[in-house]
Amino acid sequence: MDENTLAYLVVIVIFILFSVIRNTRQSSGGSGRGGKNARIVYSREPDLERTRGLFGMAEQKLEKAGLTDLMLQDFHFRTQLSPAQCKDLQQAQAQLQSMLMEMLPHLHLLPDIRVIMTRDPSELIHGALGQYEHSGSTKTIRILLVPDATPALLAATLCHECSHYFLYSYILSERDSDMNEGLTEVMACLVGFSEIMIQSNPNRDLPYLNRPEFEEVRRCLLAARPALQQKYDQKQNLLNARTQLKKNLAGGRAMLEQTRAMIAVSRSPKKKLSRGELARLQQTLLALENGSCAERLNQAEKALSGDLAAVRGADDSVLAVCGELYRMMLAFQS
Ligand SMILES: [Zn+2]
Tell me how far the alpha carbon of residue 34 lies from the centroid of ligand 1, in angstroms. 7
Residue at 112 is within a domain: yes
Residue at 12 is within a domain: no
**Cα three-residue angle 323-327-329, rounded to 5 degrees:** 115
What is the residue-level pLDDT of the chain in tens, covering all 334 positions?
566 666 666 555 555 555 544 444 433 333 333 344 444 444 678 899 999 999 999 999 999 998 999 999 999 999 999 999 999 999 999 999 999 999 998 999 988 899 999 999 999 988 889 999 999 888 999 999 999 999 999 999 999 999 999 999 999 999 999 899 999 999 999 999 999 999 886 545 555 888 889 999 999 999 999 999 999 899 889 999 999 999 999 999 999 999 999 888 877 787 788 888 889 889 999 999 999 999 999 999 999 999 989 999 999 999 999 989 988 888 887 6
Gap between the Cα atoms of 106 and 103, Å rounded: 5
Tell me how far the alpha carbon of residue 195 lies from the centroid of ligand 1, in angstroms. 18
Tell me how far the alpha carbon of residue 152 lies from the centroid of ligand 1, in angstroms. 17
Tell me how far the alpha carbon of residue 161 lies from the centroid of ligand 1, in angstroms. 6
Same domain, 54 and 158: yes
- pTM tops 0.75, yes or no: no
Tell me how far the alpha carbon of residue 163 lies from the centroid of ligand 1, in angstroms. 8
Tell me how far the alpha carbon of residue 25 lies from the centroid of ligand 1, in angstroms. 19
Range of the domain at 157: 47-209
Same domain, 151 and 290: no
Tell me how far the alpha carbon of residue 198 lies from the centroid of ligand 1, in angstroms. 16
Same domain, 204 and 236: no
* 167, containing H or E segment: helix 151-169
Residue at 31 is within a domain: no
Tell me how far the alpha carbon of residue 183 lies from the centroid of ligand 1, in angstroms. 9
Residue at 308 is within a domain: yes
Cβ burial of 213 (10 Å; 0-12, 13-18, 19+) is buried
Residue at 250 is within a domain: yes
**Cα three-residue angle 158-161-165, rounded to 5 degrees:** 130
